[in-house]
Structure 1
Amino acid sequence: MARYLLFVARALGVGALIMIVAIVSRQVYLRSAAEAADAGADEEPATMMLIRCETMHERLQNRHSSAAKADERPRARCRES
């Protein structure tokens, strides 16, 4: 039984590590996309608007996580609006 608990603990640790890396890489992507939006004005206006909208939704979710819908992705909301 202890062997299975050790296996479950390791699996949870690896899963938590993967989630942390995914969240950090997403934040880095959003920041670099926002900075690229300021620097690269020669991109398509629709692409620029999508990047800005996604960045804005991500910031709002970070501020008001209880008010934001956790199951709806920012990109989907940006395409609807």
Structure 2
Amino acid sequence: MAEIEVYTERYEREHGHKPVGRRFWSFTIVSPIATAKDHFLHTEQAMTYDKALEKAMEVAIKRRSERIIVEP
């Protein structure tokens, strides 16, 4: 299985640092098999970045994603 890229540059430009901490997180899942509505993933509760990324990675693997974009 190919490695999934985690793109954080948009987040870093907006916030001035790498994603870290506890908050509501948003991701764009880049996948050829997801519908437009399924491209976005928002956490339903505040959680650490590591936990949120873990959940996004689970979705990305199911959708055979090539990239996860961390949104600001």
Larger radius of gyration: 1
TM-score scaled by structure 2? 0.29
TM-score, L = length of structure 1: 0.27
More strand by share: 2
Higher helix share: 1
